């Protein structure tokens, strides 16, 4: 019986090896806090069910971003066109101002000529 007990009995080396193994298991094992943290960060079934809708929305946003990027690229060209139109309008206003000055001068001259004609007619009638 003693031989049987000795065969089943653990040696110091066996105990040291088991202690190391237990220590290794304890180091790699998750704690209750680790498990609680993992549970808080895990997605629920409802979260997972939303994934296709989220993917669809992301796709739509990407399409819209592409459109926005195209419009943003057009801004410098649009700005240049606006500047050209503004310059043309300014030139048009300047031409209108010059034409108005010419019309005022012609109107004044026309009034003077009308007065001259009236004066000549009046004098011509009085000399007859």
Please tell me whether the overall predicted TM-score, pTM, comes out greater than 0.85 for this model.
no
Residue-wise pLDDT tens digits, 16-48 = 899 999 999 988 888 888 888 888 888 888 888
Measure the CA dihedral 17/23/28/32, to 10°.
Answer: 140
* Alpha-helix runs per DSSP H in the chain: 2-8, 12-28, 32-41, 45-127
Asked if residues 30 and 38 have their Cβ atoms less than 8 Å apart, the reply is yes
Check pLDDT > 70 for residue 128: no
């Amino acid at each position: 019986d003693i031989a049987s007990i000795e065969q089943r009995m653990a040696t110091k080396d066996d105990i040291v090896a088991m202690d190391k193994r237990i220590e290794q298991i304890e180091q790699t094992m998750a704690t209750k806090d680790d498990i609680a943290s993992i549970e808080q960060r895990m997605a629920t079934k409802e979260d997972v069910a939303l994934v296709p809708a989220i993917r669809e929305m992301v796709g739509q946003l990407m399409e819209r971003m592409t459109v926005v990027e195209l419009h943003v690229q057009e801004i410098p060209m649009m700005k240049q066109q606006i500047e050209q139109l503004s310059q043309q309008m300014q030139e048009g206003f300047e031409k209108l101002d010059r034409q108005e000055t010419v019309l005022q001068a012609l109107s004044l001259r026309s009034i003077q000529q009308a007065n001259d004609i009236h004066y000549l007619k009046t004098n011509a009638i009085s000399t007859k």
